[in-house]
Amino acid sequence: MTISQAERGDSKIGCILWLAVVVAGALVAWEAVPVKVKSAELHDHMADMAIVATRQRSSEAIKKNVLAKAKDLDLPLTAKNLEVERTESRIKLSADYTVVLEFPFGMTYDWDFHHEVDRPIFYY
């Protein structure tokens, strides 16, 4: 006596569901990974600006440099969302912005970023 596939409970539904999950994950990664890479690059640039703060005495020069980098990276950082605070011994840069990720079927996600760099200033 042979048992047919239907009687065994064998189904292709599980494969289809897993494939749907993988496709959804790929779509999310396709949108999110480039934004995360650009965000990390901006944070690294802010850290570099804090390191060279001794050569650029003006907070406005540092602010303009960071805003130009954000514009190059297509990140929605504005002058009012970027703060540069200098004291005699420290520099603090703080940036807040939101990137809107748009997914298929009209779904959107507002991804909030907050970067903060606090470094000592060394005069040499």
Give residue 116's domain range.
37-120
* Alpha-carbon distances of 52 from 17, 70, 105, rounded to whole Å: 52, 18, 46
First to last CA, the chain: 89
* Domain annotation covers residue 16: no
pLDDT of residue 25: 84
* Domain annotation covers residue 79: yes
pLDDT greater at residue 56 or residue 111: 111
* Domain annotation covers residue 77: yes
Beta carbons within 10 angstroms of residue 1's beta carbon? 2
**pLDDT of residue 8 exceeding 70:** no
What is the pTM (predicted TM-score) of this model?
0.78
In this predicted model, what pLDDT tens digit does every residue of 21-42 receive, in sequence order? 888 888 888 889 999 999 999 9
Q: In what order do the strands lie in the sheet with 82-86?
A: 82-86, 90-102, 108-120
Written as six digits, the tokens of 99 are 């990137």
* Domain annotation covers residue 29: no
User: What confidence category does residue 20 fall into, taking pLDDT thresholds of 50, 70 and 90?
Assistant: confident
* HSE of 13, CA atoms in CB hemisphere, 13 A: 4
* Domain annotation covers residue 91: yes
If one counts the domains in the chain, the total is: 1
